[in-house]
Structure 1
Amino acid sequence: MDSSSSGYPFNKAEYYRLIIIVGAGPSGLLLALLLAQKHIPSVVLESWPHLDTRLRATQYGVPATRVFSRAGILEDIRKASIAKFPSICWRRVSDHEKLISLDLSLVEDDPDRMTILPLGEIIQILYRHCLERGKGMIDVKFNHEVTNVGQDDKSAYVDVNIKGDEKAKEARLTADYIVGCDGASSAVRRSLFGRDWPGQTLPYRFVVQNVYYDGFQKHNWDGGNYMVDNDHWGLIARRGKGGLWRVTYGDPVTGLTDEEYLARRPAHMKAMLPGHPDPGQYRIEQTNLYNIHNRCVESFKVGRAILAGDAAHVCNPMGGYGCMTAVLDVGGLADCFIGYYHGLADEDILDKYAEVRRDIFVKYVDPRSIKNLNRVATSDPHTVLETDRFFGILKDLQQDKNDMRAFLLKVSSIEYDFTKHYNSNQNGVIL
Structure 2
Amino acid sequence: MADPAAGRPFKKVLIVGAGPSGLLLAVLLSKHGIPVHILEASHELDQQPRAAHYGPPAIPELTRAGVMDLLEKNGGMRLNSMYWRRFDDHTQIAGFDGSVLKDAGNVATTLTEDMRTACLPMQDLDALLLDMFVTKYNGQVSWRHRVTNVGGQNEGDATAWAEVEVLTGDLDMTKATVSETKRYEADYIVGCDGANSIVRRSLFGDNYPGKTWDAQIIATNTYYDFAGKFGFNDANFIIHPEHFFMAAKITNDGLYRVTYGETPGLTREEYVERQAMKFELMLPGHPKPDEYKTINFSPYKMHQRCAEKFRVGRVMLAADAAHLCNPWGGLGITGGFVDVGGLVDCLIGIWDGRADESILDLYSEKRIEKWQTVIDPISSENFRRVSDSNPDTILERDEWMQLCKKIEGDVPATKEVLMGAMGVRYDFTQHYTK
Could you state the TM-score of these two structures normalised by the residue count of structure 1? 0.90
Residue aligned with 2:391, SS: coil
CA deviations over 1:61-104 (Å, ceiling 9, x no partner) = 11111110111221112332455633111001111110012112
Whole-Å Cα distance in 1 between the matches of residues 210 and 343 of structure 2?
Answer: 24
Query: How far apart, CA to CA, are the structure 1 residues paired with 2:38 and 2:181?
Result: 17
Match for residue 355 of structure 1? 365
Q: Is the 8 A contact 2:52 2:119 kept in 1?
A: yes
Shift >6 Å, 4+ stretches: none
Question: Shift of the alpha carbon at 1:262?
Answer: 2.6
Aligned to 2:274: 264
Partner of 1:203: 214
Larger mean CA deviation between 264-273 and 124-133 belongs to: 264-273
Q: Matches of residues 238-387 of structure 1 in structure 2 within 5 Å? A: 238-251=249-262, 253-387=263-397
1:334 partner letter = V
Would you say how many aligned residue pairs link Structure 1 and Structure 2? 406
Distance across 1 between alignment mates of 2:31 and 2:80: 33
CA contact (8 A) 2:78 2:116 kept: no
1:220 has 2:222 as partner: no
Residue 186, structure 1, aligned to residue 197, structure 2: yes
Aligned to 2:172: none
Q: Report the secondary structure of 2:357's partner residue.
A: coil
Distance (whole Å) between structure 1 residues aligned to residue 38 and residue 366 of structure 2: 25
Contact 1:93 1:271 in 2 (8 A): no
1:157 to 145, 157, 161: 161
The normalised TM-score by structure 2 is: 0.90
Q: Please identify, of 198-207 and 162-171, the stretch whose mean Cα deviation from structure 2 is larger.
A: 162-171
Residue in structure 1 matched with residue 40 of structure 2 by the alignment: 46
> What is the alpha-carbon distance in structure 1 between the residues aligned to residue 255 and residue 136 of structure 2?
31
RMSD: 1.7
Q: Tell me if structure 2 keeps the 8 A contact 1:77–1:125.
A: no
Unaligned 5+ runs, structure 1: 1-15, 425-431
Residue matched to 1:392 = 402
Percent pairwise identity: 41
Q: Verify: 1:18 aligned to 2:20, yes or no.
A: no
Q: What is the letter of the counterpart of residue 20 of structure 1?
A: L
What per-residue deviation string (whole Å, max 9, x for no partner) do you get for residues 9-38 of structure 1?
Answer: xxxxxxx96111100111111111111111
* CA shift in 2, pair 1:82/1:179, >3 Å: closer
Return the alpha-carbon distance in structure 1 between the equivalents of residues 281 and 236 of structure 2.
14
Q: Deviations along 1:285-336, whole A, 9 cap, x unmatched? A: 2111111111111111111111100001111000100000000001000000
Query: Does the Cα contact within 8 Å between 1:113 and 1:409 map onto a contact in 2?
Result: no
- Tell me, in whole angstroms, the C-alpha distance in 2 between the residues paired with 1:384 and 1:80: 39
Structure-2 separation of matches of 1:267 and 1:48: 34
Counterpart-to-counterpart distance in 2, 1:200 and 1:56? 20
- Tell me which moved more, 275-284 or 328-337: 275-284
Query: Does residue 141 in structure 1 map to residue 151 in structure 2?
Result: no
Helix, strand or coil: the match of 1:76? coil
Partner secondary structure for residue 305 of structure 2: strand
Change (3 A) 1:82 1:131: closer
Which amino acid in the other structure matches residue 250 of structure 1? G
* CA deviation profile, 1:117-166 (whole Å, cap 9, x unmatched): 1111110110011012212xx31111111011112521110001112368
Could you tell me how far 1:384 is from its partner in structure 2? 0.6
* 141 and 386 in structure 1: CA distance in 2 versus 1, 3 angstrom threshold: same
- Structure 1, 359-368 or 101-110: larger mean CA deviation: 101-110
Kindly state the Cα deviation for residue 418 of structure 1 after the two structures are TM-superposed.
0.4
* Whole-angstrom distance in 2 between the partners of 1:128 and 1:400: 41
Seen in structure 2, the aligned counterparts of structure 1 residues 376 and 154 have a Cα distance that, compared at 3 Å, is same
- Tell me the SS of whatever aligns to 1:168: strand
Q: Distance in 1 between matches of 2:178 and 2:402?
A: 61
CA contact (8 A) 2:388 2:394 kept: no
CA distance in 1 between partners of 2:25 and 2:141 (Å): 12
Relative distance call for 1:255 and 1:236 in structure 2 (3 A) is same
Structure 2, gaps ≥5 residues long = 1-9, 104-112, 170-176
- CA shift for structure 1 position 203: 1.1
Distance across 1 between alignment mates of 2:279 and 2:123: 24
**In structure 1, how many angstroms separate the alpha carbons of the residues matched to 2:14 and 2:22?**
10
Contact 2:78 2:117 in 1 (8 A): no
**Paired AA for residue 176 in structure 1:** D
Q: Note if contact 2:164-2:182 (Cα within 8 Å) is conserved in structure 1.
A: yes
| 2:6 alignment partner in structure 1 | none
Does residue 113 (structure 1) correspond to residue 116 (structure 2)? The answer is yes
